[in-house]
Amino acid sequence: MKRWVSGIVCLFVFSLLMVACSPKPTEQAAEQENGEKKQEPVTITMSASHVNGEWLEEMKEKVEDKFPHITLELVDVPSVNDEEFADLIYKGAVPDILSVREQRRDFAKIREYELEYDFEEMIEAKGFDLSVYDESIIESLRNATPTGGIVGLPYQSNYFSINYNKDIFDRFGIPYPDEPMTWSEVINLANNMTREVDGVQYHGLTMNSYLAWFMFTQFKENLIDPDTNEVNVINSTAMKDIFEMLDNYASIPGNVPDGEWGGVFEEGNVAMEVNWARNYDVEEGIPGVTFDFAPFPTWDANPGVGVEPNVSSWMIMDTSEHKDEAFDVIAYLTSAEVRLSYIRKGAVPALADPEIKEQFMADIENSEDYNLAALEEVTPSSGPPKISLFENEAPLRELMEKYVIEKRGTDVNSYLRDVEKELENYVIDEEGKE
C-alpha cells in the first residue's frame, strides 16, 4: 500500500515538473509553425535606389506579413556608380540588400568595393529553384561575375525593339516591319523610308546611342581579353560588322544622324527607332504618333540572337550580418506571388513561366492593340562567359558615337585601328590606377 501511494506521489511530482518545463501553448505553436523554431526578430535594410518608392512601401508590408520576425527598413542609397556611395562604405552604412539595374557594370563596381557576396551555397542549402527565372537572365547574371556564381536575384528585365511609326509606313504604302530582320535589312528599309514629302524630311532610322554596348553583346565576344587584358578590335568580326553597319546607317542621304544618332521619335517624322521598347508609352501613348513594336535586329553572323538582358536585381552585401534573412526577402520579392500583378501593369518579367510572360501588360488599356509578341521574338544573348574588369567602362559607346557623328565615311578598317589604340591606352591608364 505504501509502495502504491509512493508511486502515485512520484508520478504526480513528475507530471508537475513536465508541465513547468514545457513551453507555453503560444510559444509551442510559434515553434512548431512551419516546422521551425521561433526566429529572433531582425531588421533588414534595403536600398530604395532605382525602384518605385510606392511599390516598395507596399512590399514592406507584404514582407513583414510573410516573415513576422523581419522588419524591412527602406533606406535612400546613392547609385553604386556615384561618388557618394563610397561615403556609405566609410560610414559603415551599407544596406543588407542593394538594388542594381545593370548587371555587368554594377556587379563589377560592387566587386571593386569588396561588397559582392556569392550566395550559391545558400541557394543549394535552401533547395531554392533558380529555374523559376528566365534561363538567359540567370546565365547573364552568372557571366557578369568572374566565378560564375550568383550574386543577385532578378526582379525585372528590359525589352529592346524597333519602335516604328505606323503613320509613316501607311503614308508611304510600305508594309509594317513586323517580322524579324537583320541589321542589313533594317538599313535597307531605312534607306527606303528616308525621304522628303510635302516639305517634311522623314528619317528612316534613329538609334539610342546607349545601345552601342548592347549591340556588341549580340556576338558574345570579348572586347578586352579577360585573362590578359589584351584589346581585340582589328581582328574582331563583331567590331567590323558593327562599324560597317554604323557607316551604312550614318551615310543614308537625308537621315543625317546628329548628337542623338538621328531624329527624335516623338516629333513624328522618324519611321523607325532602335531603342529600349517603348512599352512605358503604351498606356498614355505618344501624342501625334501611332507606334508599334518590331523585333530587335539580329546579325547575319549570329541570326536570331538579340542583346544581353538589361536586368534589375537585388544583391546581398557581403557586410550584411543577416544574409540568410536577406535572401528570404529577395527570394520572396522576385517571386511570381509578388511580381505577377506588376507584370500585368507593365513591369518586364524576369520569370521563366510562359503563362506569366503572356500576362505582360494585361491590365493596361489598349495593350492588345500592340504587337507585344515581337518583344519575345528573338532569343536574348547571355553575353560572353567572362569579361575583363575594364570592359564595362571601356569607351566603346563614345568611339561609336564619334564615328557616326564626326567620322562617318572614314574607312572602317582604318578607324578600327584608331579604336584599338584608344582602348589600349584606356587599359594602360586603368592598370596604372591599381
**Strands ordered across the beta sheet of 270-276:** 195-197, 200-207, 270-276, 160-165, 291-295
- Rounded to the nearest 10°, the torsion over CA 99, 103, 105, 106 is 20
pLDDT at 36: 53
E strand or H helix that includes residue 215 = helix 212-217
Tell me, rounded to whole angstroms, the distance of Cα 133 from its chain centroid.
Answer: 12
User: What was the pLDDT predicted at 28?
Assistant: 39
At 3, the pLDDT band (50, 70, 90 cuts) reads very low
For domain 40-158+309-360, give the fold.
D-Maltodextrin-Binding Protein; domain 2 (3.40.190)
- Supply the Cα-derived Rg of the chain in whole angstroms: 28
Q: For residue 8, is pLDDT > 60? A: no
CA distance 205 to 194: 8
For the domain covering 160-308+382-433, report its CATH number. Answer: 3.40.190.10
The yes-or-no verdict on residue 9 having pLDDT over 60 is no
DSSP of 122-136: HHHHHT--GGGB-HH
Could you check whether 40-158+309-360 and 160-308+382-433 share the same CATH topology? Answer: yes
CA distance 221 to 381: 11
State the pLDDT at residue 231.
96
Residues of the chain with pLDDT > 70, as a percent, come to 90
Q: Are residues 150 and 112 in contact, defined by beta-carbon separation less than 8 angstroms?
A: no
Element (H, E) at 323: helix 323-333
Domain spans of the chain, in order of start = 40-158+309-360, 160-308+382-433
**Tens digit of each residue's pLDDT (9 = 90 or more) over 81-108:** 888 888 888 888 999 999 998 888 899 8
pLDDT by residue (tens digit) across 302-337? Answer: 889 999 988 999 999 999 999 999 999 999 999 999
DSSP string covering 31-64: HHGGG-PPPPPEEEEEE-TTS-HHHHHHHHHHHH
Give the chain's end-to-end CA distance (angstroms, integer): 90
Contact 261, 401 (CB under 8 A): yes
The per-residue pLDDT for 187 is 97
The answer to whether residues 381 and 143 touch, using CB atoms and an 8 Å cutoff, is no
What confidence score (pLDDT) does residue 84 get? 86
Inform me whether the pLDDT recorded for 273 exceeds 90: yes
**Of residues 199 and 147, more confidently modeled:** 199
d(C-alpha 243, C-alpha 106), whole Å: 27
Q: What confidence tens digit (pLDDT) does each residue in 366-375 have?
A: 999 999 999 9
Q: What is the pLDDT of residue 352?
A: 96
How far apart CA 215 and CA 204 sit, in angstroms, is: 19
Q: What pLDDT score was predicted for residue 68?
A: 96
C-alpha cell at 327: 535572401
23-64 per-position pLDDT tens digit? 444 443 444 445 455 789 999 999 876 676 677 788 899 999
